[in-house]
Amino acid sequence: MTSLVLTIIAHDKPGLVEQLSLTIANNGGNWLESSMSRLAGKFAGILIVTVADEQADSLLDALQQLESQGLKVVAERSQENATLTDSNNITLELIGHDKPGIVREISQALSRYNINVERLSTELVSGSMSAEELFKAEAELTVPAGVDLDDLQQSLEAIANDLMVDITLN
């Protein structure tokens, strides 16, 4: 079997998921995992599809033909890397007043510890006590076993103080 990672973008309109799923199914693909959203009037998504090796090229061709219908698909064959068996999985939650640079500062700190971001979800939400917009993020992280979690917590707290956000590790 061949695994394909697809990224999709199109002007949002009804029927895009159906169009994509029909193309995948009609070419022997199996839809496994996905995350899709409407962002700034666009439909954007990522998904993983598996297909028999002998049907992979046919599916890739069919996906490229969707561009003529307004659906741009970028497909990459995946070679799954071995996951770290000697690691910890933690969740990072962040909330604070929105300002440029929050994701950059946090991701730089995580990178210094060789931490992998497995999933990241961000959004702007209205503050419960005020009309101000708050930046909210949640990330699933894979932390190498040798990382001192207290050290990581202190590093993130220093950044949180500078950015005036709250960060919680679970």
Calpha distance 122→76 (Å, rounded): 25
Residue-wise pLDDT for 79-101, tens only, equals: 765 555 688 999 999 999 988 99
Structure tokens at 122: 């961000």
Q: What is the pTM of this model?
A: 0.77
All residues at 6 or more sequence positions from 99 whose CB lies less than 8 Å from its CB, including other chains:
135, 163
Cα pseudo-dihedral 11, 15, 19, 25, rounded to 10:
140
Higher pLDDT residue, 129 or 4? 4
Residue-wise pLDDT for 15-27, tens only, equals: 999 999 999 999 9
Identify the structural domains of the chain with CATH numbers, from first to last: 2-77 (3.30.70.260), 87-169 (3.30.70.260)
Residue with tokens 């962002």: 39
